[in-house]
Amino acid sequence: MRSNEGAARFLEMSRKQGLLETADVRLSFADNRIAGLVFGHFDQNLTHLEQRLGVQAVANGNQVILKGLPEKAEQARFVLEKMNERVRAGLTIQKGDIDGAIEEAAAQGSLFPGAQTPVPEKLSFDEIVTRRKRVKARNAAQHVYLKALKENELVFAEGPAGTGKTWLAVGYAVQLIEQGLVERLILSRPAVEAGERLGFLPGDMREKVDPYLRPIYDALYDFMESRHVERGLQTGMIEIAPLAFMRGRTLTNAIVLLDEAQNTTSMQMKMVLTRLGEGSRMIVTGDPSQIDLPAGQKSGLVEASRILKGVEGIARVKFADTDVVRHDLVRRIVSAYDRDASQGQ
């Protein structure tokens, strides 16, 4: 049995002073084993829940009592029920899964509406399912992103590092391939110099481009077995296509992922976008705040987002620093840089 002392003191003081209405929510799980997996090692998942929602969670065997503001206690209940579903499905629980469930609960609106407030429609965040991995959106922005990918042939995703733009794009592409909706995945990313000068690097074309595509490979290995990735590269089902070699091609029945697109020139972006053939889709990701093009040269991503705004079949999803899911510290780093940039203007 254990509790968060700060949360407990706050709630007890509030009760005594009559300042807040509080609720006690009791949850029971099938057995101690499942409860232990939901609560986490040394109840670390409950501790994380307390810190995020400001509730008190007291565990005893296969039961837990949640104490706090009515809406927060209900959100905590929702999160633990979601974690129970993951455990019973044979999935592990990470902090990011808890954070995602918290965001999902918050997106549903108030769970204790007043007499004049209609009960909100239940919302379930969208997810990606591949043979190797099942991933659910961890915040509202990712939910919107996954919906946009399903509903549009061309999607622009812009935002800071750590928001899941590229990782989710790769997962969605793998899902389409496994479902037989596309025949191949084409990966492209501009070299840092943005001039595609790859000749000085040793090796064949794949070896020259590999250093620039490492983040995409990491995502591929997350969503596919390594032997399937290697086989896909050998058979052409997964193709590495530097921007310089995309000109003149027509890409049919494929999903194209253009990553780090903020470093494309206007001409390169137009060329890539016009490669789409029948049965193909394209995902363009990038961070407009990290443009490495020479001074005075326009970013193809920024220009395309402006020119193509409102065009049917094209969606644009913007992530903010608050949508960072990679690590809490990354979120704080991005926020600090954004504050510094705004103060310097």
User: What pLDDT digit, counting tens, does each position of 272-301 carry?
Assistant: 999 999 999 999 999 998 888 888 889 999
Supply the pLDDT for residue 342: 73
H or E stretch at 51: helix 44-53
Residue found under tokens 């990735």: 229
Q: Rounded to whole angstroms, what are the CA distances from 228 to 51, 189, 254?
A: 40, 22, 17
DSSP secondary structure code for residue 239 in this structure: E
Q: Identify the sign of the CA torsion 258, 263, 267, 268.
A: negative
CB–CB of 55/67 below 8 Å? yes
How far is the C-alpha of 179 from the C-alpha of 183, rounded, in Å? 10
CB–CB of 305/144 below 8 Å? no
DSSP secondary structure code for residue 322 in this structure: G
Supply the pLDDT for residue 332: 74
Domain 5-107 sits in CATH at 3.30.1370.10
How far is the C-alpha of 236 from the C-alpha of 183, rounded, in Å? 10
* Gyration radius (Cα) of the chain, Å: 23
The Cα diameter of the chain in Å comes to: 74
How far is the C-alpha of 70 from the C-alpha of 53, rounded, in Å? 11
Q: Rounded to whole angstroms, what are the CA distances from 37 to 26, 63, 93, 117, 198?
A: 18, 12, 8, 37, 49
12 CB contacts (<8 Å, ≥6 apart)? none
Supply the pLDDT for residue 110: 40
Q: For 303, phi and psi rounded to 5 degrees?
A: -65, -45
Supply the pLDDT for residue 205: 58
| Cβ-based burial of 144 (10 A; exposed 0-12, middle 13-18, buried ≥19) | middle
Domain positions in the chain: 5-107, 127-344
317 CB contacts (<8 Å, ≥6 apart)? 141, 144, 145, 148, 155, 156, 157, 158, 159
How far is the C-alpha of 32 from the C-alpha of 275, rounded, in Å? 56
Overall CATH class of domain 127-344: alpha beta
Q: What is the pLDDT of residues 312-326, one digit of tens each?
A: 999 999 998 888 876
Distance, first Cα to last Cα, the chain: 52
How far is the C-alpha of 45 from the C-alpha of 39, rounded, in Å? 5
CB–CB of 97/83 below 8 Å? yes
Q: Which residue type sits at 163?
A: T
How far is the C-alpha of 320 from the C-alpha of 259, rounded, in Å? 18
Q: Which residue type sits at 159?
A: G
DSSP secondary structure code for residue 163 in this structure: S
What residues of the chain score a pLDDT lower than 50?
1-4, 7, 17-18, 110-121, 193-198
